[in-house]
Amino acid sequence: MASGPTIVRLARGGSSAVDLDTEAGRAFLQERLAFYNKLAFIISGVFFLVGMLLLASGVASPGEVSGAQTRRATLLHGATLVVQLSAWVVCARGRRLSHPLLRTIDVGALVLVCLGFALQDVTVVTLHVEALAPFPRVTMILILTNLLIARAVFVPSPTAWTAAVSAAAAVPVVASAGFAPPPSGAATGQGAVALWTVLWAACAVVVATLTSRVIYGLREQVREARRLGQYTLEEKLGEGGMGTVYRASHAMLRRPTAIKLLPPEKAGHAALERFEREVQLTARLSHPNTVAVFDYGRTPDGLFYYAMEYLDGVNLEVLVREDGPQPPARVAHVMRQVAAALAEAHGIGLVHRDVKPENILLCERGGVPDVAKVLDFGLVKDLERSGAALSRADVVQGTPLYISPEAITAPDRVDARGDLYALGAVGYYMLTGQHVFSGATLVEVCSHHLHTPPEPPSARLGRPVPPALEEILLACLEKDPARRPGSALILRDALCAAPGVGEWSEADARAWWARWRARRGPPERPA
């Protein structure tokens, strides 16, 4: 299996470690270009306003510069502000911009701004101080140097690209030295002015290039520290009891992948054995409604990880919390898929033991919307090896709001029917927007699961629901496992045959997802 270098520094990694060739890198570049142009616009705007106030108050006098020249210089400065503002707005508005367009904005905006200042300097000779005669272009050089170094700091780019962009931006400044004469009375001639301008512009280009090389090199080092074999970690997605999940990309396939790894502080022998068992058991499942495992391995320093399909969607907890109770047809549609996934697991002797809304994610697969995926088999129990020490009889495992009565009283004897109880509680939550039982303490919730009959969904909602669906949900929530559906397949078939539930069509799903994205943007990533 694949292995890679140490990943102890993963928690410190940030966006600066992303590969610019990936979608995450493109988004980061767009974000940085927006920030750089915003910063440049604000600073340049402050100088513009201060200059206007000084001229208006008479504190600063244009001296030998005519009013027409002053107006022309003001318009040129204003034009540079328009360029910076436009680049900022275009990159920050949220619309996805391609790599070529971002590179065009990167070099184009900077060159145009430098050109504007160079033309302004040609129009008006601003320095009339004898002491500065050897450096008559000091204002332009300061502007150029600040622009180039700030870009090198804030905008990620390879060294060669930084050198090319910086050199292109320096061209107008260097060219203007041949047109703007030195200050009157200056001891420095035109040739010396041009030479000093070229030398200082070259220094600005070199310093910016070296700055970019150091910063980009550090980004590359961080990215290398985030590499697991052929996978490069890009963004932390979430953290659970059995590990941390990152979005990653494969070096060759460029396929978005989710990487789950066991943190160093949890890498004890028992935790590692349980984590390794989780991936081995999950890898045995191939149902389309179960998350697929691609690969697994260990790093040289002993950290265990596995790679699985990356799912971009919304889990049922977020769905109900933000969208409220769901239509009965959709509830049945999701439950059928989950039941089918559980049927495969139960068929080879696996019990999930932690079926809950957070572990069921809706996404789009193969162009089909509302595909349910069952996640996180971290508490899975292999019935063929029920004597394993990994499941202790004195520990209640699962989520209290969805735990079956037998998981409370006899956790060592939980079987597939415990998953059906939890799935019934999930369906109840989807249909009503409320949990079957709630309480102020864990003991109170568990007591309800053991002794309190569930309130029918129609009574909880105060309106009718399809009787067949209500009957199925209440059957799943029976206290006695023997009174629940005999298997996940029987439950799935009952949901398929339930009269009066209606059909949740692909058109219904597409319409819902369109409304969802319009209301809150792209779907939430799984935790």
Are residue 269 and residue 414 in the same domain, yes or no?
no
Are residue 279 and residue 338 in the same domain, yes or no?
no
Are residue 165 and residue 246 in the same domain, yes or no?
no
Say what the pLDDT of residue 388 is: 39
- The verdict on residue 143 lying in a domain is yes
- The verdict on residue 365 lying in a domain is yes
Q: How many domains does the chain have?
A: 3
- Domain around 301: 227-309
Do the Cβ atoms of 60 and 51 come closer than 8 Å?
yes
Which of 331, 351, 365, 328 is closest to 488 using CA atoms? 351
Answer yes or no: pTM beyond 0.85. no
Residues whose CB falls within 8 Å of the CB of residue 460, separated by 6 or more in sequence, listed in order: 432, 434
Q: Considering 267, 282, 309, which residue would you say is the last residue of a domain?
A: 309
Are residue 179 and residue 250 in the same domain, yes or no?
no
Q: What does the alpha-carbon distance between residue 155 and residue 234 come to, in Å, rounded to a whole number?
A: 18
Which of 53, 113, 103, 51 is closest to 80 using CA atoms? 113
Do the Cβ atoms of 256 and 249 come closer than 8 Å?
yes
State which amino acid sits at residue 131: A
Give the lowest-confidence range in 102-111, 412-421, 516-525: 516-525
Are residue 206 and residue 242 in the same domain, yes or no?
no
CATH number at 443 reads: 1.10.510.10
Active site residues: 354
Residues whose CB falls within 8 Å of the CB of residue 409, separated by 6 or more in sequence, listed in order: 450
Question: Which token pair is 94?
Answer: 């949220």
Do the Cβ atoms of 36 and 152 come closer than 8 Å?
no
Are residue 250 and residue 325 in the same domain, yes or no?
no
Are residue 289 and residue 331 in the same domain, yes or no?
no
CATH number at 302 reads: 3.30.200.20
- Give residue-wise pLDDT tens across range 101-142: 999 999 999 999 999 888 877 765 444 433 334 444 577 788
- The verdict on residue 285 lying in a domain is yes
Are residue 252 and residue 204 in the same domain, yes or no?
no
- Give residue-wise pLDDT tens across range 340-372: 999 999 998 889 888 999 999 999 988 899 999
Are residue 251 and residue 107 in the same domain, yes or no?
no
- Give residue-wise pLDDT tens across range 59-83: 555 454 456 667 787 888 899 999 9
Q: Are strands 293-298 and 304-309 parallel, antiparallel or unpaired?
A: antiparallel
Which of 348, 407, 354, 402 is closest to 380 using CA atoms? 354
Question: Which token pair is 473?
Answer: 């949900």
Q: Coil, helix or strand for 455?
A: coil
Are residue 407 and residue 512 in the same domain, yes or no?
yes
Q: How many angstroms separate the most distant Cα atoms in the chain?
A: 104
Phi then psi dihedrals of residue 309, to 5 deg = -65, 140
